[in-house]
Structure 1
Amino acid sequence: MARTFNLADLFEVVAGVVPERIAFICGAHRLSFRQLDERATRLACGLRARGIGRLDNVGIQLYNSAEYLETFLACCKIGAAPVNVNYRYVADELTYLFTSLDLKLLVYGAQFDVEVGKVLPRVATLKNAIRVGAEVEVGAGVAGVENYESVLTTGEATLDDPERSDNDLYMLCTGGTTGMPKGVVWPHKSLFMGALGGGGFYLRCPPIGRPEDLERLVPQASPLVFFASAPMMHGAAMWASLISLYSGHTVVVNDQTNFDAEHAWDVVVRDGVNSMSVVGDAMATPLIQALEAHPQRWDLNALMLFGNGGAVLSGHLQERMKAAVPHIMFNNNMGSSEMGVVGGGNRPAHGEGYMVLQPSEVLAVIDEQMCIVTAPGSQGVLARTGYTPISYYRDPEKSAEVFVTVNERLWVLSGDRARIDEEGRIVMLGRGSQCINSGGEKIFTEEVEEAARRCPTVQDVLVIGIADERWGQKVAAIVEVMPGAEFSATDFQYVCRQYLSGYKVPRAVFLTDKVMRSPAGKADYRWAKEYVTQHGSVI
């Protein structure tokens, strides 16, 4: 059978050449590439027997586990679209999500029995649910829901799917931290080329031309071990895991339901991790603090690469990490659910901005008039063409705003503000939706947050704009104080002034016991805006 760029086809190629290599580790649970492929095939047959097929949407509401990856691959094997589900959502949020995305089947963890039990009768399209794990307590099971292992063990051992194609669909559900969650629809080949490096990221080659090229390349590559420290339901962790699997590497995931920095370093040592990834400062900060508090505790000689994606990793945190682990290398990637991974870059040598990218045939800055700009000083939003998603699922209005035609090509607008510098490069400024307009000056929250985190009494911080009679908006910081520290708003502002122009320094400061973020550490700006309406500023 001729192979396609269907994500399951690609995995089967890798499993065929390194079948006994360990593919997945979660705590004590290990699966080889052969075992993972066999279990995914049996589940795919079980899903097909329950009426799931091409173009059906299947939700995955699970903590990190082998079942998460098995379900993902099983869907791809039969042309169904796997859909990540935020396991923090409550019944009303799940009802909205499942209804808007037309979920036909849900694979979920027993920990979520209560919320799922409320939702199943509300969603007309949701005909089946498969439950992973033992019951939380007697009677906690949901009536009419099948057991995962029973479905898997009754499935056939072989599967024939001659309809697999490059254009089978995968759906990545956005986090909804600035608005309602949406499903980003990616064709498989576009995802592989646009977000997963086309097979060349770890294999040190250009994107492959044929799926069969992996048969030659994977055995030649070193069998590295990668640790995805964020939840698999987050795109950054899932994409990084797939990149590693398609390189024949072992993927390790966090076996705890929360993120504990000391446990994460224990995992790195226990499993011989060579490369790991985080999602921005929120995850990197406690990791670095643990290393500084226990400088001799962990032997990290095997760890070579510290990757980041999905949120900004501040320069001063990289410096602290380098001081703790001198041999470590960094890989800062720019990307999003809609853009895929557009590459990495360094910070500007001077001036505002947090990353410099090189423009190309597929990467540009597009202004408000829908024109590609190249003149130094011009601004717009970062945009990508080529291997991209095709739309938001069942949302033509929002799709029309983000997926635009310029010069007869489809471009995806990232929403991230950017400008062209004197050398013609793209300088990333910040998220447009979080831009603060204070007296006509545009202030990007990422820049202020990075400066604020340099204050030694700040554990975490979010920055937003709030109404101001004189300036229209002013900068407000919601600060989580370092445990045991004495916070001074005056000292906080003083530190910020060392790295920011005066108009960017927070004029309002709110204290909170905990800055709210997604399980992967992404900022929850909806929570921040609500928080400041209910609490008083300390200045």
Structure 2
Amino acid sequence: MHIGGFLTQNARNFPERFAVECEGRSYTYGELNTAVNRLAHGLISLGVKKGDKVAIVMKNSDHFMISFFAAAKIGAVVVPVNFRLTANEIQYIFSQSDTVLVLCDSEFEETVNSARETTGVSSVIVVGDVAGEGNLLYDNILSHNEEEPNVEISEHDDLEILYTSGTTGRPKGALFDHDRIFKVSLTMLVNMELRKDERFLHLAPLFHSAQLNLFMIAGVILGGRHYIHRDFHPVKALQAIQDHEITHLFAVPAMYNFMLQVPNVTDYDLSSIRRCGYGAAPMPPELVRKSIAAFKTDRFFNLCGLTEAGPGGILLDPEGHEQHLGKSGKAGFLTEARVVHENGEDVKPGVVGEFILRSETVMKEYYKKPEETKSALKNGWLYTGDLATVDEEGYISLVDRKKDMIISGGENVYSAEVEAVLYEHPAILDAAIIGLPDEVWGEAVTAIIVLREGAEIDEQELKSFCRQKLAGYKVPRRIFIEPQLPRNASGKILKYQLRQKMNELTQSAN
């Protein structure tokens, strides 16, 4: 069955069951399916065909959910876009993905209009009261036709392009079909023992593969209840858990940290929570312990996956937390994981190697990037580029990232992309980007720069310079000026030395 078919099935089996609530708008499964079908026919009337790429640039909302399933039901390929990106960054995604239509919130309309220039985007649909010249209002394209779209869809038809980034800094689109995404959701249903009466609170962005595929889609397949928050606010999140008796929570470490900082956190009744998941960034063991105490449950899961697997990878289950807190975990349902030498042989316990995965959830390919696909997918295994060790009991621990990726507040930041912007500044001769541990964000984007002879630079001016070209979360939070950068014989910067030195400087300053 295709992904949209699960919603259709639920609408037939239990049309009166509560499905979703967001900002006062609520739907039963019958009503949600009707809303999806009306939008689906509206998209068809605009000329969207099976296989066309449809981008969604929205914050979390019922409109995001409806847009996703409407596109899925007509065989379109959904391209979720990070709404925090600049117009230049979004333009690349529209162009590279062959996007033909965009659904966006009104607050992002101006950015989308700038981004669509020189791309193949023919229509922009705006959720709001007013749409700019040439764009269409969401409510105005809804069809009166509430029937199921007459589009034949196979589980092997394409469903999503999820954008990640590589060492070059240019995003790559991981392509998935309906079958792969169903199996991504299935792994969560099994690994976390999710039930049909689950109450999901959606706090992390739905453009992220974790919240989208692991929990929104999995929750719809189950027929669970969904409560969607447009923006994360720690007090509102705690209140929602209490008021709606939320049973399942997924959040990035920074969100847990902010919720624990609420002065009267112990006054909230969080006893309905059955299990908590965390991921997308390193979560310090002490924060895990404090979260377990606050939520009064030891059913915590460390979900350590990557976009190219849907996301999928390894997980540390509650039992693993008892003896192996701080480790990444073991392979879950439908997944195999290994740590290997460059020759493909398994490393011995304690030896660093590359973390690789094999699963039916792994992407088909990087869209229109055959060389990158060939490099990542070898003999049925996904080579992640992450460095890891494995212990005697088979628990894997990620120790570094070949891609030099930084995860700050749950957002992926790739050093090469930020470095490219730094090199555009006239005062900078040399530059490196690393991640340093941060109690709030997990990792802080940190710039180490070498100035040109006689040049001076103001820290705030440099941050403003970067902000003009990068999303806010990519802008360096810390800046260090050094006389030179350490390099190996081939000229590559030795970032592990920089991390060690800057950690020591930060600790001594504290």
The one-letter code matched in structure 1 to 2:197 is P
Distance in 2, matches of 1:228 and 1:426, equals 28
**77, 95, 102: which is aligned to 1:81?**
77
1:334 pairs with one of 304, 323, 331: 304
CA distance in 1, matches of 2:334, 2:297: 35
CA distance in 1, matches of 2:341, 2:448: 25
Deviations 1:36-79 (A, max 9, x none): 11111111111112221221110001111111111110111111
Structure 2 distance, partners of 1:246, 1:101, is: 27
Say if 2:40 and 2:149, in contact at 8 Å, map to a contact too. Answer: no
Q: How does 1:244-255 map to 2 (within 5 A)?
A: 244-255=219-230
> Quick one: distance in 2 between partners of 1:356 and 1:255?
31
Letter of the 1:182 partner, please give it. Answer: K
CA shift in 2, pair 1:263/1:328, >3 Å: farther
Structure 2 spans left out of the alignment, 5+ residues:
407-433, 451-462, 483-501
Q: 2:173 touches 2:367 (CA, 8 Å); kept in 1?
A: yes
| 2:71 equivalent to 1:101 | no
Which SS does the other structure have where 1:394 is aligned?
coil
Q: Is the 8 A contact 2:202 2:226 kept in 1?
A: yes
SS at match of 2:68: helix
Counterpart Cα distance in 1 of 2:161 and 2:481: 32
Matched residue SS, 2:125? strand
Asked if 1:286 corresponds to 2:258, the answer is yes
Aligned to 2:444: 462
CA distance in 1, matches of 2:372, 2:327: 27
The amino acid of 1:126's aligned partner reads V
Deviation per residue, 1:202-245 (Å, 9 max, x gap): 666xxxxxxxxxxxxxxxx5522110111211222112121122
Q: Distance in 1 between matches of 2:343 and 2:326?
A: 22
Contact 2:444 2:478 in 1 (8 A): no
Pair 319,101 (structure 1): closer, same or farther in 2 beyond 3 Å: same
Which residue of structure 2 lines up, in the alignment, with residue 316 of structure 1? 286
Cα 1:202–1:246, aligned 2, differ >3 Å: closer, same or farther? farther
Residue of structure 2 in register with 1:307 after alignment = 277
Distance (Å, rounded) in 2 between the aligned partners of 1:415 and 1:432: 5
User: Number of residue pairs matched?
Assistant: 439
In structure 2, what residue type is equivalent to 1:341? G
Residues 13-47 of structure 1 show CA distances to partners (whole Å, capped at 9, x for unaligned) of 22322221111111211111111111111111111
Question: For the Cα contact (< 8 Å) 2:284–2:326, is it kept in 1?
Answer: no
Query: 1:530: how far off?
Result: 8.6
Q: Relative to structure 2, which stretch is displaced further, 159-168 or 386-395?
A: 159-168
Residue of 449, 467, 475 corresponding to 1:527: 475
Query: 3-state DSSP class of the match of 1:232?
Result: coil
Q: Secondary structure at the match of 1:118?
A: helix
Match of 1:188 among 149, 156, 178: 178
* Gap change, CA 1:95 and 1:274, over 3 Å in 2: same
1:532/1:182 CA distance change after superposition, 3 Å: farther
| Aligned: 1:14 with 2:10 | yes
Alpha-carbon separation, structure 2, partners of 1:378 and 1:320: 31
Change (3 A) 1:88 1:295: closer
Distance 1:197 1:422 in 2: 25
User: Which residue identity does 1:77 align to in structure 2?
Assistant: K
TM-score, reference length from structure 1: 0.73
Matched, 1:130 2:125: yes
Match of 1:488 in 2: none
Write the deviation string for residues 384-413 of structure 1: whole angstroms up to 9, x where unpaired. Answer: 2231111111122322221222xxxx2212
Give the structure 2 partner of residue 390 of structure 1: 364
Within 5 A, what are the aligned runs for 1:127-526? 127-135=122-130, 141-152=131-142, 154-161=143-150, 163-174=152-163, 176=165, 179-197=169-187, 200=190, 221-239=195-213, 240-256=215-231, 259-279=232-252, 281-290=253-262, 293-327=263-297, 329-339=299-309, 340-345=311-316, 346=320, 354-358=327-331, 362-365=335-338, 367=340, 369-373=342-346, 375-387=348-360, 388-405=362-379, 410-434=380-404, 449=437, 453=439, 461-462=443-444, 466=448
Matched AA of 1:354: K
Letter in 2 for 1:250: R
Q: Is the 8 A contact 1:171 1:183 kept in 2?
A: no
CA distance in 2, matches of 1:301, 1:354: 27
**2 CA distance for matches of 1:201 and 1:120?**
40
Identity %, equivalent residues: 23
Task: For residue 461 of structure 1, report the CA deviation from its aligned partner.
Answer: 4.6
CA contact (8 A) 2:196 2:222 kept: no
On the 8 A contact 1:365/1:372 being kept in 2, the answer is no
Q: Displacement, 1:97?
A: 1.4
Distance apart, 1:89 and its partner CA: 2.1
Q: Which secondary structure does the structure 1 equivalent of 2:353 belong to?
A: strand
